[in-house]
């Protein structure tokens, strides 16, 4: 074995002292109260002072200052409240509060940070791999001594070796070799980790969909191909399963099985297919689902939340972008379409999703046919309400085809691009504060800056393939985090060129336990295409893609023209309907006028009728009077003529008068 000395991102307690120096608590002229207050508000300055005293001196045992000195009294009270807090805990809280107050402090602390020395164990035959520097690295020449006394020099202080257990490099990507038969180069594949192996399935190789399954042993770092068998008949799979080549699907580990869901295929089905791979029998089988399944798609995000899969967005077989939301209950295998409230993300594919605190689903980036996004959306899985919070810090550039993994409350985003260039920075989001920061950046076209890579999380105790060890700048764990992250967490990353990287962090006081992100070292199609031997194929592929895009553009133009024609027809119909409406309104006004006239005439007729009834009564009265007059005249006439005849008849005249 050989020893190498390398300085890099800082561990505790060096990181604490660097933070204290930056904040102004190191005893230098910068550490005056005035200098500290100029950087922080009074409350934060008091807390930082108390934590610094607790970390460096211990619990407060000094006498209470006199009341007239208000500043010293406040500082003493803040320190006293920490009681018996451990020194290491005070150091971590100091750095965490500084991070919240000044997220970019570490990148600006180069003038304050002294280079620590880290011992790195290396095999005598191992090579030293320099790493691209970022804002936290300080180039200098380091000397590496070997057992036989020879000297090897490296121009970058950030060095690693094949042995992983004692790597002391932070915030840099490194690519040591791996063994075994590597899979074909690919992108848009699925990746998942179960126990100590990472599995990759399917993907796109030079425009051809794949259906092979490979495993990377995270202890020996060797690749092997798994020969899958046709599944036996079962309730879930009534017939043997043909393993369909696909890309743009999702691979989820669940109950010691690999769940493959959705994806683009040569002959797409109408709805999403769900398959399971049994690691013990090495067989694929379809999982029978109930309810209305989502439409077939690829480029979606699938997140495991409790006992269900949350699926968002993607692109269907007709290249229609989607922003629908579905949940598959893995216990009942029942689909449920969610009609969430609020404004959802715009339709997109090739985005990333993460779950925070088992309650919030975060959606970042993705792309449409015309543009890429860098927006952040959050879905509350309890209220099913979308929101678009304000992002803070160094917000990433727009991208699609990137990959993400969560470590505690931090969400690491790697790769992707905007159809013009790859994203050159590895970024991290604190999901509690929604503050972005850049972990590292690199120049040129390299695997981790490409589209179509995938990401998975696992734990292991072996050696690395590609290593990115995040410093406390990017992985400070929240004191309020409900579930602590295991000490040996790793994230395994499959790039487009397949370069495999590991991101890790030494926890204080726990030697040999590491947290890291690993990227699988499969050779990239895009990187190979840069070689002369594949230039013609690349040009042909680009021409085919260009023709496809031109064809799509022509179809879109035809559809646009049709829509314009339909719009013109609709406007014409609208004009005609408006004219008809005006005509009807005129007719209605005329009818209203006519109705008013009829009402006036009716009132006049009623008045005339009343007059006629009065005249009728007068006529009847006159007729009765006339009849009475005629009767009286008749009676008088009879009376006069009756006296003569009575005399002739010999009747007395007064009797006749009485009779009359």
Burial label, 116 (beta-carbon count in 10 A; 0-12, 13-18, 19+): middle
User: If pLDDT is split at 50, 70 and 90, which confidence band does 231 have?
Assistant: low
Q: Is the pLDDT of residue 623 over 70?
A: yes
Residue 113 is predicted with a pLDDT of: 47
Span of 9-18, 44-53, 347-356, 502-511 with lowest mean pLDDT? 502-511
Residues 6+ apart with CB under 8 A from 266: 209, 245
User: What pLDDT is stored for residue 320 in this prediction?
Assistant: 95
As a whole number, the mean pLDDT across the chain is 75
Q: How confident is the model at residue 163 (pLDDT cuts 50, 70, 90)?
A: very low
Residue 480 has pLDDT above 70, yes or no: no
The residue that leads in pLDDT, 597 or 527, is 597
Asked if pLDDT for residue 4 goes beyond 60, the answer is no
Distance of CA 498 to the CA centre of its chain: 25
Picking from 493, 498, 539, the residue whose alpha carbon sits closest to that of residue 516 is 493
Question: Of 121-125, 169-173, 466-470, 588-592, where does mean pLDDT reach its minimum?
Answer: 121-125
Question: Rounded to whole angstroms, how far apart are CA atoms 105 and 246?
Answer: 45
Task: In whole angstroms, give the CA distance from residue 458 to residue 224.
Answer: 18
Q: Stretch 610-620: mean pLDDT, rounded?
A: 90
Q: How far apart are CA 245 and CA 257, in angstroms?
A: 19
Distance CA 397, CA 181 (A): 36
Paired strand residues for 275: 260, 286
Check whether 38 has a pLDDT greater than 80.
no
**pLDDT (0 to 100) of residue 181:** 86
Residue 74 has pLDDT above 70, yes or no: yes
User: Do 438 and 451 meet the contact criterion of CB atoms below 8 Å apart?
Assistant: no
Q: Are 459 and 489 in contact (CB under 8 A)?
A: yes
Residue 26 has what pLDDT? 62
Q: Decide: 79 and 60 in contact? Cβ < 8 Å.
A: yes
**What per-residue confidence (pLDDT) applies to 535?**
65
pLDDT at 484 exceeding the cut of 50: no
Q: Tell me which of 264-268, 403-407, 570-574, 643-647 is least confident.
A: 643-647
pLDDT confidence of residue 541: 77
Binning pLDDT at 50, 70 and 90, where does residue 411 land?
A: very high
Reduced to 3 DSSP states, what percent helix, strand and coil does the chain have, rounded to the nearest 5? 30, 30, 40
* Mean pLDDT across 454-478: 48
What's the N-to-C CA distance of the chain in angstroms? 171
**Model confidence band, residue 341 (pLDDT cutoffs 50, 70, 90):** very high
For residues 545 and 266, which has the higher predicted lDDT (pLDDT)?
266
**C-alpha to C-alpha distances, 315 to 246, 347, 373, 461, nearest whole angstrom:** 14, 9, 16, 39
What is the rounded (10 degree) CA torsion for 543, 548, 554, 559? Answer: -160
Give residue 395's pLDDT band: very low, low, confident or very high (50, 70, 90): very high
pLDDT tier for residue 310 given thresholds of 50, 70 and 90:
very high
Is residue 441 within 8 Å of residue 424, measured between CB atoms? yes
Would you say residue 655 has pLDDT above 60? no
Return d(Cα 26, Cα 3) in angstroms, integer: 32
Token pair of 506, please?
């030494």
Confidence of residue 240 (pLDDT cuts 50, 70, 90): low
CA-based torsion, 356, 358, 359, 364: positive or negative: positive
Helix count and strand count (H, E) for the chain? 9, 33
Q: How far is 150 from 5, CA to CA, in rounded Å?
A: 15
**How many beta carbons lie within 10 A of that of residue 91, not counting itself?**
23
With 70 as the cut, is the pLDDT of residue 119 above it? no
Mean pLDDT confidence for 30-46: 66
pLDDT tens digits for range 370-382: 899 999 999 999 9
User: How confident is the model at residue 344, as a pLDDT?
Assistant: 96
Q: Which residues pair with 457 in a beta bridge?
A: 491
Q: Which residue has the higher pLDDT, 413 or 421?
A: 413
Strand ranges, E, within 398-551: 403-407, 410-414, 425-430, 435-441, 454-458, 490-494, 516-520
Q: Which two tokens stand for residue 300?
A: 């979606």
* Least trusted range by pLDDT, from 318-322, 490-494, 584-588: 490-494
pLDDT, average across residues 527-551: 69
Give, as one character, the DSSP assignment of residue 399: B
């Amino acid at each position: 074995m050989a020893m190498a000395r390398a300085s890099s991102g800082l561990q505790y307690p060096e990181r604490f002292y660097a933070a204290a120096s930056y904040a102004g608590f190191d005893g230098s002229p910068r550490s005056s109260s005035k200098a500290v207050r100029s950087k922080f508000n009074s409350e934060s300055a008091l807390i930082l002072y108390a934590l610094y005293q607790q970390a460096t001196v211990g619990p407060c045992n000094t006498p209470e200052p006199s009341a007239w000195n208000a500043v010293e009294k406040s500082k003493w009270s803040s320190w006293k409240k920490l009681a018996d807090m451990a020194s290491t805990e005070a150091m971590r809280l100091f750095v965490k509060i500084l991070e919240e107050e000044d997220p970019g402090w570490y990148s600006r602390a180069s003038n304050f940070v002294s280079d620590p020395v880290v011992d790195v164990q290396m095999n005598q035959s191992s090579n030293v791999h320099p790493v691209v520097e970022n804002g936290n690295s300080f180039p200098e020449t380091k000397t590496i001594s070997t057992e036989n006394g020879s000297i090897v020099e490296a121009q970058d202080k950030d060095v690693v070796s094949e042995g992983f257990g004692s790597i002391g490099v932070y915030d840099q990507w490194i690519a040591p070799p791996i063994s075994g038969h590597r899979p074909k180069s690919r992108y848009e594949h699925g990746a998942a980790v179960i126990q100590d192996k990472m599995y990759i399935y399917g993907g796109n190789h030079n425009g051809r969909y794949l259906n092979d399954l490979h495993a990377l042993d995270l202890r020996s770092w060797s690749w092997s191909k798994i020969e899958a068998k046709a599944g036996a008949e079962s309730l879930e799979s009534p017939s043997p399963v043909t393993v369909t080549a696909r890309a743009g699907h999702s691979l989820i580990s669940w109950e010691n099985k690999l769940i493959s869901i959705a994806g683009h295929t040569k002959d797409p089905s109408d709805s999403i297919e769900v398959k399971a791979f049994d690691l013990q029998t090495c067989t694929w089988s379809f999982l029978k689902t109930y309810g209305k399944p989502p439409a077939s798609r690829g480029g979606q995000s699938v997140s495991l939340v409790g006992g269900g899969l949350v699926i968002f967005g993607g692109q269907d077989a007709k290249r229609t972008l989607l922003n629908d939301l579905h949940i598959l209950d893995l216990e009942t295998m029942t689909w449920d379409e969610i009609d969430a409230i609020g404004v959802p993300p715009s339709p997109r594919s090739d985005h990333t999703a993460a779950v925070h605190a088992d309650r919030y689903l975060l959606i970042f980036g993705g792309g449409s046919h015309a543009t890429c996004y860098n927006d952040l959306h959050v879905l509350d899985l309890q209220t099913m309400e979308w929101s678009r919070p304000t992002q803070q810090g160094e917000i990433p550039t727009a991208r699609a085809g990137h990959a993400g993994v969560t470590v505690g409350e931090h969400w690491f985003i790697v790769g992707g691009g905007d159809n013009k260039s790859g994203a050159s920075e590895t970024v991290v989001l604190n999901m509690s504060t929604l503050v972005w920061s850049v972990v590292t950046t690199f120049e040129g076209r390299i695997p981790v800056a490409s589209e179509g890579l995938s990401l998975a999380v696992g734990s292991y105790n072996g050696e690395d393939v590609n290593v990115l060890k995040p410093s406390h700048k990017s992985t400070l764990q929240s004191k309020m985090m409900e579930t602590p992250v295991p000490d040996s967490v790793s994230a395994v990353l499959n790039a487009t060129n397949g370069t495999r990287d590991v991101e890790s962090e030494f926890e204080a006081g726990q030697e040999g336990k590491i947290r890291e992100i690993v990227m699988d070292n499969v050779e990239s199609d895009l990187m190979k295409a840069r070689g002369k031997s594949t230039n013609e194929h690349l040009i042909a592929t680009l021409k085919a893609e260009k023709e496809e895009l031109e064809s799509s553009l022509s179809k879109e133009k035809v559809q646009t023209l049709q829509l314009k024609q339909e719009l013109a027809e609709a406007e014409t119909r609208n004009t005609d309907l408006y004219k008809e409406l005006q005509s009807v309104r005129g007719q209605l006004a005329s009818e209203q006028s006519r109705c008013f006239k009829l009402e006036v005439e009716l009132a006049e007729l009623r008045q005339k009728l009343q007059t006629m009834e009065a005249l009728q009564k007068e006529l009847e009265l006159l007729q009765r009077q006339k009849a009475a007059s005629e009767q009286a005249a008749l009676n008088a006439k009879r009376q006069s003529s009756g006296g003569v005849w009575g005399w002739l008849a010999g009747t007395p005249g007064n009797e006749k008068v009485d009779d009359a």
